[in-house]
Amino acid sequence: MNITSRIFVAGGSTLLGAAIVDRLRDEGYDSLVGVGPGEPDYTSPAQVEDFFAEYRPEYVFVAAGKSGGIGLNRKSPADLMLDNLLVATNLLPVAHAHGVRKLLYLGSSCGYPRLASQPMGVGAMHTGPLEPTSAAYASAKIAGMHLCAAYRDQHAANFVTAIPANAFGPGDDFSEDTGHVIPALMRRFYEAKREGRPEVPVWGSGTPRREFVGARDIADAAVFVMCHYDEPEPINLGGGTDVSIAGVARLIADIVGYRGRLLFDASKPDGVKLKRLDSSPLFALGWRPATTLEAALTQTYTWFLQHVVTEDPRNATPTLSVALSDSSGRGRDRPHLSD
């Protein structure tokens, strides 16, 4: 892949997709196709076929598909599963038919078994049952990974799968209903600080541990893998460290400036107790994250204040607004997130 290659980021308005687009532009890649309104609707096979026939991308990043936190996974498992299945079944065959030179499909760490040994290496796939709260979404992502492998086996297609750690960052979904833990907590703590609430509820016991990596670092890793990795096995995109939900909640409260109490509600689901990726194959290739967790959280909160918090001209009271996308994933503020 070079700076004149025709590159398509499917899901370019999602959290990771937008970060990949930004990273490519920063690196000088100037032949990006399908950015913004030119992106097809992945639920429409005809639109996908027409897009590839017209623009003939050489390299494709697949970051499209709906996702969300535990709340959305419990509320809309069928919607999440169907949308992600359609992304895989509509994009991958057309990419192969039009001679794409390389495709990088972003899977999900939800595809690892609930009780997988830690840190999770790709050999742990299919060694046990999935986490029930995200099983439908995870099954669709696993199907996409297997479809990539099938195209490699049957057609020698250079389709590669990468599994990102829990991502967050500028452009995130800060909704209480659909957002993942970090953006949802940022919004909750911001509102509690503004309204002077003495305490804030946090879902779960706070003890589960997650590997959180800023979306900009995940995007950098994805571009790195596109350029340096061609093996059939999936490769993890992680940062090598994990933190408890309680720990990250306290970090966020400190960054927001909220000084009240955090009330952990153990009656709410925790999900998997520990989720950390074995990213040693990626590190062995020479990649490492460039941003600390605290710095990435600060960047995300700064973006939140600048883009989600708006001034109400009627009373100059800060209000919140989040733009939602349609089913294709378009809409800058409605991201694809990996739990």
Residue 80, burial from CB neighbour count under 10 angstroms (0-12, 13-18, 19+): buried
Q: State how far the Cα of 65 lies from the Cα of 108, in Å rounded to an integer.
A: 11
| pLDDT per residue as tens digits for the range 266-295 | 998 887 788 999 999 999 999 999 999 999
Q: Give the per-residue pLDDT at 54.
A: 97
34-60 burial by CB neighbour count: b if 16+ within 10 A, else e? Answer: bbeeebbbbbebeebbebbeebebbbb
**CATH code linked to domain 7-173+212-240+274-320:** 3.40.50.720
Which of 203, 155, 156 lies closest to 177, judged by CA?
A: 203
Q: Are 203 and 269 in contact (CB under 8 A)?
A: yes
Mean pLDDT of the chain, nearest integer: 90
Cβ within 8 Å of residue 48, ≥6 positions away = 40, 41, 42, 90, 91, 94
Q: Give the per-residue pLDDT at 262.
A: 96
Q: Which residue has the tokens 């939900």?
A: 245
Q: Is 137 a catalytic residue?
A: yes
| pLDDT per residue as tens digits for the range 56-91 | 999 999 999 998 878 888 999 999 999 999 999 999
Q: Give the per-residue pLDDT at 310.
A: 65
Note the residue count of the chain: 339
| pLDDT per residue as tens digits for the range 148-178 | 999 999 999 999 999 999 999 999 999 877 7
Tell me how crowded residue 149 is: count the other CB atoms within 10 A of its CB.
18
Task: Compute, in degrees rounded to 10, the torsion defined by CA atoms 82, 325, 131, 339.
Answer: 140
Q: Which residue has the tokens 């399908």?
A: 34
DSSP character at residue 131? P
| pLDDT per residue as tens digits for the range 211-242 | 999 999 999 999 999 999 999 999 999 999 99
Q: Are 291 and 214 in contact (CB under 8 A)?
A: yes
Domain positions in the chain: 7-173+212-240+274-320
Of 137, 151, 190, 301, the active-site residue reads 137
Please check the confidence at residue 312 and state whether its pLDDT lies above 50: no
| pLDDT per residue as tens digits for the range 1-48 | 999 999 999 999 999 999 999 999 999 999 999 998 889 999 999 999
